[in-house]
């Protein structure tokens, strides 16, 4: 298990954030992934100018968002259907909808304002969540809430260029289905993701280190 990120420095994060934003088009949102950031360090992120944050775990999101309601919260982790009703009051966007059981819970607990991204498994990895590209159309048709875009997690690699085909594939799917939002790219490959059409990049170490 990864260690918690502690001792965050607002000045360093502010510098990193400014550098990242210079590398990205203006329309790309920088989301700070806070799975390993303790609740009592979140104030440092606000001090550094971070506005948009993403949490992977429903219980932690509930606690953190309650303590820091002025941050904009997204849910970016693997979505368990039984946790849908827990996270909905706190988030403006869920990045990882990929099951019919989640759709059933969204139908029960969502509202006309509920917005989601559908997670797509562009690489066809058996051990990874996400809808197969060929199943995307029917899945979107079954969605009871607003689908604004897509999300993907390519296979881990230290070579950013290896992720490019997966980002390009997601962009093609979004275009085919008339979707605008693309959540793709993390600290090691966010530049390539932006080149391929990302509108949200999910960053951790590139902001905190």
DSSP string, 132-158: -GGGHHHHHHH-SSEEEEEE--PPP-S
Structure confidence at residue 172 (pLDDT): 98
Segment 167-187, tens digit of pLDDT:
999 999 999 999 999 999 999
Domain ranges of the chain: 10-208
For residue 173, the SS3 value is helix
Helix (H) or strand (E) holding 208: helix 205-208
Task: From 126, 107, 95, select the one nearest 198 (Cα to Cα).
Answer: 95
Estimate to the nearest angstrom the gap between the alpha carbon of 25 and the chain centroid.
Answer: 18
Please give the pLDDT value at position 94.
98
**pLDDT tens string 6-20:** 999 999 999 999 999
What's the CATH architecture for 10-208? Alpha-Beta Barrel (3.20)
Distance CA 5, CA 121 (A): 29
DSSP characters for 9-20? -HHHHHHHHHHH
Residue 90: both structure tokens together = 């706190």
Asked whether 35 and 186 are in contact (CB, 8 A), the reply is: no
Tokens 């059981």 -> residue? 101
| Residue 125 confidence (pLDDT) above 90 | no
* 16-64 residue pLDDT tens: 999 999 999 999 999 999 999 999 999 999 999 999 999 999 999 999 9
Q: If DSSP codes are grouped into helix, strand and coil, which group holds residue 118? A: strand
Instruction: Tell me if 75 sits within 8 A of 97, measured CB to CB.
Output: no
Q: What is the mean pLDDT of residues 134-143?
A: 97
177 touches 141 (CB < 8 A): no
């Amino acid at each position: 298990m990864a260690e918690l990120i502690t001792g965050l420095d607002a000045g360093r994060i502010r510098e990193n954030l400014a550098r990242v934003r210079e590398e990205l088009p203006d329309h790309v949102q920088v989301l700070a992934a806070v799975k390993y950031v303790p609740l009592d360090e979140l104030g440092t992120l606000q001090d550094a100018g971070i506005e948009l944050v993403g949490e992977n775990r429903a219980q932690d999101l509930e606690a953190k968002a309650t303590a820091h309601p002025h941050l904009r919260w997204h849910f970016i982790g693997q979505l368990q259907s039984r946790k849908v009703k827990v996270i909905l009051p706190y988030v403006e966007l869920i990045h990882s909808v990929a099951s019919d059981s989640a759709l059933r819970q969204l139908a029960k607990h969502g509202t006309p304002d509920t917005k989601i991204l559908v997670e797509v498994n562009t690489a066809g990895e058996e051990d990874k969540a996400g809808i197969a590209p060929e199943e995307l159309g029917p899945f979107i048709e079954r969605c009871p809430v607003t689908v604004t875009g897509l999300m993907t997690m390519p296979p881990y690699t230290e070579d950013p260029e290896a992720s490019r085909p997966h980002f390009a594939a997601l962009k093609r799917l979004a275009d085919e289905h008339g979707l605008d939002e693309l959540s793709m790219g993390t600290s090691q490959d966010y530049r390539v993701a932006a080149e391929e059409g990302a509108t949200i990049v999910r960053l951790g170490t590139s902001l905190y280190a």
